[in-house]
């Protein structure tokens, strides 16, 4: 496994692989890797001869009062984990490799509308930061395939939209959410939970599953279902940011006949902002 930090080192390796006709898959991460990231790598491996994992804590997707400074940076541990799953290359760029003109003069990539609600509303500027850095990583790595997790449901839709709209020659693949045994979606931010909060956290997934069951059995009063479920989570100790039933394809409001729904939730539990979702196909 090779670890590179600069564009030149990356280009040299990519050129070598391209000469061999190898396809390249990118798994973009901010490090602090867990089993969820490993599952993205495994899926990437099914689609390409070479797997690149980028590790870059991207400042432009954090709000001013968010956890950019405290975000865990664990490159040595990440390297060991990625070596064990035979990643070909870790790209851990310096800030100036990703943003050569600096943050003030950086070109921004922005996707309208689908970024306005949910995490986009609660975290202004977040998705501009995500699309800007993902576009830059795509330009640097020039992958054939890129794998993103379903846990960040809105993010993967936004990235798909960007890639299609800009005609980027990259297939976007979405990997299922990996969960702890009790259903909690794996996330780097779970480590902010106290022991007591950790015991409450799986309620988030339980509530989603119950909504899924009700939708499957024909319930269609979406607003009522949303407010009942929000109340349950609030009673359990969550500060619910949003809980919403939407069209899976585009996050628009569904009508009664919609047969592909997504239930999205974000809630604060202590210091951790947890997000999760389930897709319900009827
Ligand atoms: O999902 C993440 O970890 C980040 O948003 C991403 C896609 C690596 C961009 O920084």
**Whether the Cβ atoms of residue 52 and residue 137 lie closer than 8 Å to each other:** no
Assign domain 188-275 one CATH number from 3.60.15.10, 2.60.40.10, 1.10.10.10, 3.30.1300.10. Answer: 3.30.1300.10
pLDDT computed for residue 207 by the predictor: 98
The average pLDDT across 25-32 equals: 98
| Cβ atoms 262, 247 nearer than 8 A | yes
> Could you tell me the distance, in angstroms and rounded to a whole number, from the CA of residue 17 to the centre of ligand 1?
25
The CATH number given to 2-175 is: 3.40.50.620
- pLDDT attached to residue 220: 97
Give the CA distances from residue 116 to residues 58, 60, 110, 119, in Å, rounded to whole numbers and listed in that order: 20, 17, 11, 8
Strand partners, 239: 268
* The predicted structure's pLDDT at residue 8: 98
pLDDT band at 222, cuts 50/70/90?
Answer: very high
Mean pLDDT of 118-139: 98
Question: Which residues are catalytic, by number?
Answer: 37
Cβ 154 under 6 angstroms from ligand 1: no
Q: Which pLDDT band holds residue 126 (cuts at 50, 70, 90)?
A: very high
Distance CA 90, CA 16 (A): 16
Q: Band of the pLDDT at 118, cuts 50, 70, 90?
A: very high
Ligand 1 neighbourhood includes 28 CB (under 6 angstroms)? yes
Supply the pTM of this predicted model.
Answer: 0.97
pLDDT tens, 53-104?
A: 999 999 999 999 999 999 999 999 999 999 999 999 999 999 999 999 999 9
Tell me which residue has its CA closest to atom 2 in ligand 1.
Answer: 29
Model confidence at 10, pLDDT cuts 50, 70, 90, reads: very high
The predicted pLDDT at position 115 comes to 98
Across 238-250, average pLDDT: 98
d(CA 198, CA 270): 10
pLDDT of res. 258: 97
Provide the pLDDT for residue 240.
Answer: 98
Instruction: Decide whether any atom of ligand 1 lies within 6 Å of the 32 Cβ.
Output: no
Distance 220 CA to ligand 1 centre (A): 34
Q: Where are the domains of the chain?
A: 2-175, 188-275
**Is there a contact between 29 and 52 (Cβ–Cβ < 8 Å)?**
no
pLDDT interval class at 273 (50, 70, 90): very high
Sign of CA dihedral 143, 145, 151, 155: positive
Cα-to-centroid distance, 133 and ligand 1 (Å): 8
Report how far ligand 1's centroid is from the alpha carbon of 29 (Å): 5
Confidence grade of residue 29 (pLDDT, cut at 50, 70, 90): very high
Residue 140: how many other CB atoms lie within 10 Å? 19
Ligand 1 pocket, 152 CB below 6 A? Answer: yes
Q: How confident is the model at residue 109 (pLDDT cuts 50, 70, 90)?
A: very high
Percent of the chain with pLDDT over 70: 100
Q: What is the pLDDT of residues 156-196, one digit of tens each?
A: 999 999 999 999 999 999 999 999 999 999 999 999 999 99
Atom of ligand 1 nearest to the CA of 188: 3
Instruction: Provide, for the chain, the percentages of residues in helix, strand and coil under a 3-state DSSP scheme, each rounded to the nearest 5.
Output: 40, 20, 40
What does the pLDDT read at residue 234?
98
Name the closest-CA residue to atom 3, ligand 1: 29
When pLDDT is averaged across residues 267-282 and rounded to a whole number, the result is 98
């Amino acid at each position: 496994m090779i670890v590179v930090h600069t564009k030149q080192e990356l280009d040299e390796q990519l050129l070598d692989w391209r000469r061999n006709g190898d396809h390249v898959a990118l798994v973009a991460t901010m490090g602090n890797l867990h089993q969820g990231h490993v599952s993205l790598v495994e899926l990437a491996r099914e689609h390409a001869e070479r797997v690149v994992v980028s590790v870059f804590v991207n400042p432009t997707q954090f709000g001013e009062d968010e956890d950019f400074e405290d975000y865990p940076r664990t490159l040595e541990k990440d390297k060991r984990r990625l070596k064990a799953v035979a990643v070909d290359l870790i790209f851990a760029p310096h800030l100036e490799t990703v943003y050569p003109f600096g943050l003030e003069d950086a070109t921004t990539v922005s996707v309208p509308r689908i970024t306005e609600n949910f995490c986009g509303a609660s975290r202004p500027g977040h998705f501009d930061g995500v699309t800007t850095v993902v576009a830059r990583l795509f330009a640097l790595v020039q992958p054939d395939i890129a794998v993103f997790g379903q846990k960040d449901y809105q993010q993967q839709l936004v990235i798909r939209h960007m890639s299609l709209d800009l005609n980027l020659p990259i297939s976007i693949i979405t990997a299922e959410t990996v969960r702890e045994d009790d259903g909690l979606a794996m996330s780097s931010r779970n480590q902010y939970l106290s022991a007591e909060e950790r015991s409450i956290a799986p309620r988030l997934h339980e509530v989603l599953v119950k909504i899924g069951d009700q939708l499957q059995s024909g319930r269609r009063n979406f607003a009522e279902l949303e407010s009942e479920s929000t109340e349950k989570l609030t009673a359990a100790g969550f500060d619910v940011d949003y809980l919403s039933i939407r069209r899976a394809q585009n996050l628009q409001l569904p009508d009664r006949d919609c047969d592909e729904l997504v239930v999205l939730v974000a809630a604060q539990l202590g210091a951790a902002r947890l997000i999760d979702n389930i897709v319900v196909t009827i």
